[in-house]
Amino acid sequence: MIPAAFDYHRPASLDEAVGLLTRHGDQAKVLSGGMSLLPMMKLRLASFAHLVDIGRVPGLEYIKEDGGFLKIGAMTRQAALERSDLVKGKCPILADAVPLIADPLVRNRGTVGGNVANGDPGNDQPAIMLALGATFVARGPKGERSIAANQFYKGLYSTALAPNEILTEVRIPVPPARSGGAYAKLKRKTGDFAVAAAAVQLTLNTSGAVERCGIALTNAGLTPVETADAAKFLVGRKPDDKAIAEAAKMAAAKSSPSADRRGSVEYKKEMARVLTARALKKALERAGGK
Amino acid sequence: MAKHKISVTINGAAREAEVESRLLLVHLIREVFGMTGTHVGCDTSHCGACTVVLDGNPVKSCTVLAVQADGAKITTVEGLEQGGKLHPVQEGFTEKHGLQCGFCTPGMLMTTSALLERNKNPSEQEIREAISGNLCRCTGYVNIVKAVQYAAEKMR
């Protein structure tokens, strides 16, 4: 299968890339790792007259800790995240998730920027970024702006990015002491999207009650689903089994998956509940709460 | 639609081509360069039959544009044998019966040769994870794992 014809552009700088996007408007699409975009174009589910490849724009591939944030450049490959000791040490939830994305060959090409900016509710990192309270940095013709992950996802493949904006960095607040995060994903096989998956990131106070909590679900609706009610329910409580079960139930109630070959709506909602409980338990354990 | 002049180093040889934007790397290799050892399997980035090593990393060449590989170093299955001597993974697949129909084999060889560059002594689990993006419908993977273990030992 071959994509419909298009023009390929390889800008050498972000400004040049933004200029190309501005010139070609919604006829243009940013090409990052291409692991979602190229299959979509080959299947003729998407077509663009212009692809703007940011793969050679310098300075978009890094993982660093800076000013209380874990900063990840948009072109950072999933394989680099997988091998990063900084990610393992500071952000176990991300370390959990990366090996579950696609397969190792796809992770050699696929990027974190593509995963979060694509707007596919089946991608794993959007829910994780919601749970972490991450921010996305975007560059457009007027310069740079930050967009909170929970303001970013507008609909299926639709995000807060303007057609001439490029997501350049993911900023994750480095979790403070007594924090834990976990990602629990159910999938049928390597390379498949999640039947359901839950991301949890929490922080405990000195008495063991939940101080901050983020919970979000993958493949549970048209966008990644942040389940703020469930998270709020846990804040101020000591998360015992009963509280965890209740929060998991509340999270699952917020999911609105559609039936497909991966299962019925009822099954997926039930799996969202089970996986939320598992992720909560693991996150709690990592926070030193159990 | 403009064509792009690209140059790559494939199996150590510098090659140039003028390509359409939409030409896929696997078609550059097979149809433009005439090297048909790299197979097209599912053509949807699932099966890994088209795996080649691009700047040191195994990737699915059905899901990379040829123009994206401009300037890159590519190794295909044809580049594994050196001076008439099989690469240890090729020898391993032969010795341990790591293939039946052989369709997935070029991709398996590229993924596992790249694995052994990075990890001289992979565990069975690490081998299985490394090849989890390469599908084999014949062997059940048991002999493929043995073949890689054979190669790892040979390379140490």
pLDDT in tens, B20-35: 999 999 999 999 999 9
Mapping DSSP onto H, E and C, the string for chain B reads CCEEEEEEEECCEEEEEEEECCCEHHHHHHHHCCCCCCCCCCCCCCCCCCEEEECCEEEEHHHCEHHHHCCCEEECHHHCCECCECCHHHHHHHHCCCCCCCCCHHHHHHHHHHHHHHCCCCCHHHHHHHCCCCCCCCCCCHHHHHHHHHHHHHHC
Stated pTM of the model:
0.96
Which two tokens mark B26?
A: 């696997």
Instruction: Give the pLDDT confidence score for residue A158 in this predicted structure.
Output: 97
Q: Which of A257, A252, A274, A104 is nearest to A191 (CA)?
A: A104
CA distances from residue A115 to A102, A121, A129, A227 in whole angstroms, order as listed: 11, 10, 11, 20
| Neighbour-count burial of A85, counting CB atoms closer than 10 A to its CB (0-12 exposed, 13-18 middle, 19+ buried) | exposed
Any B CB within 8 A of A155 CB: no
Distance from the first to the final alpha carbon of chain B: 50
Q: Is B45 in Cβ contact with A39 (below 8 Å)?
A: yes
Instruction: Give the pLDDT confidence score for residue A85 in this predicted structure.
Output: 97
Q: Is A108 in Cβ contact with B59 (below 8 Å)?
A: yes
A226 - beta bridge partners?
A216
Rounded to a whole number of angstroms, the distance from the CA of A31 to the nearest CA of chain B is: 10
Rounded to a whole number of angstroms, the distance from the CA of B133 to the nearest CA of chain A is: 5
Rounded to a whole number of angstroms, the distance from the CA of B24 to the nearest CA of chain A is: 7
Residues A264-285: tens digit of each pLDDT: 999 999 999 999 999 999 999 9
pLDDT at A222 over 70: yes
Q: Which of B32, B42, B29, B31 is nearest to B79 (CA)?
A: B29
Instruction: Give the pLDDT confidence score for residue A200 in this predicted structure.
Output: 98
Any B CB within 8 A of A102 CB: yes
Check if the beta carbon of residue B139 is closer than 8 Å to that of residue B92: no
Instruction: Give the pLDDT confidence score for residue B71 in this predicted structure.
Output: 98
Rounded to a whole number of angstroms, the distance from the CA of B45 to the nearest CA of chain A is: 7
Rounded to a whole number of angstroms, the distance from the CA of B61 to the nearest CA of chain A is: 10
Q: Which of B62, B58, B57, B11 is nearest to B33 (CA)?
A: B11
Residues B51-101: tens digit of each pLDDT: 999 999 999 999 999 999 999 999 999 999 999 999 999 999 999 999 999
- pLDDT category, B12, cuts 50, 70, 90? very high
| Neighbour-count burial of A46, counting CB atoms closer than 10 A to its CB (0-12 exposed, 13-18 middle, 19+ buried) | middle
pLDDT at B1 over 90: no
Mean pLDDT, range B96-122, rounded to an integer: 97
Q: Is A105 in Cβ contact with B43 (below 8 Å)?
A: no
- Here the ipTM equals 0.97
Mean pLDDT, range A239-248, rounded to an integer: 97
| Neighbour-count burial of A226, counting CB atoms closer than 10 A to its CB (0-12 exposed, 13-18 middle, 19+ buried) | buried
| Residue of chain A minimizing CA distance to B127 | A104
Any A CB within 8 A of B109 CB: no
Which residues in chain B have Cβ-Cβ distances shorter than 8 Å to A106? 45, 60, 63, 133
d(CA A176, CA A12): 38
Which residues in chain A have Cβ-Cβ distances shorter than 8 Å to B59? 105, 108-109
Instruction: Give the pLDDT confidence score for residue A289 in this predicted structure.
Output: 80
- Region of A111 on the Ramachandran plot (φ > 0 left; ψ -120 to 50 alpha; else beta): beta
DSSP per-residue string spanning chain A = --PPP-EEE--SSHHHHHHHHHHHGGGEEEESS-TTHHHHHHTTS---SEEEE-TT-TT---EEEETTEEEEETT-BHHHHHT-HHHHHH-HHHHHHGGGSS-HHHHTT-BHHHHHHS--TT-SHHHHHHHHT-EEEEEETTEEEEEEGGGTEEETTEES--TT-EEEEEEEEPP-TTEEEEEEEE-SSTTPPPSEEEEEEEEE-TTS-EEEEEEEEESSSSS-EE-HHHHHHHBTS---HHHHHHHHHHHHHT-----BTTB-HHHHHHHHHHHHHHHHHHHHHHTT--
Residues A8-32: tens digit of each pLDDT: 999 999 999 999 999 999 999 999 9
Residues A179-198: tens digit of each pLDDT: 999 999 999 999 999 999 99
High-pLDDT (> 90) share of chain B, %: 98
Instruction: Give the pLDDT confidence score for residue B2 in this predicted structure.
Output: 82
Instruction: Give the pLDDT confidence score for residue A290 in this predicted structure.
Output: 65
Any B CB within 8 A of A5 CB: yes
Q: Mutating which of B22, B25, B113 best tests the A interface, going by the most A Cβ atoms within 10 A?
A: B22
Task: Tell me which residue in B23, B27, B133 faces A105 most closely, judged by beta carbons.
Answer: B133
Mean pLDDT, range A24-43, rounded to an integer: 97
Q: Is A105 in Cβ contact with B134 (below 8 Å)?
A: yes
Any A CB within 8 A of B57 CB: yes
Q: Is A190 in Cβ contact with B132 (below 8 Å)?
A: yes
Check if the beta carbon of residue A49 is closer than 8 Å to that of residue A85: no
Report, in angstroms and rounded to the nearest whole number, the Rg of chain A calculated over CA atoms: 19
Task: Tell me which residue in A10, A55, A106 faces B45 most closely, judged by beta carbons.
Answer: A106
Which one has a higher pLDDT value, B1 or B90? B90
pLDDT at A123 over 80: yes
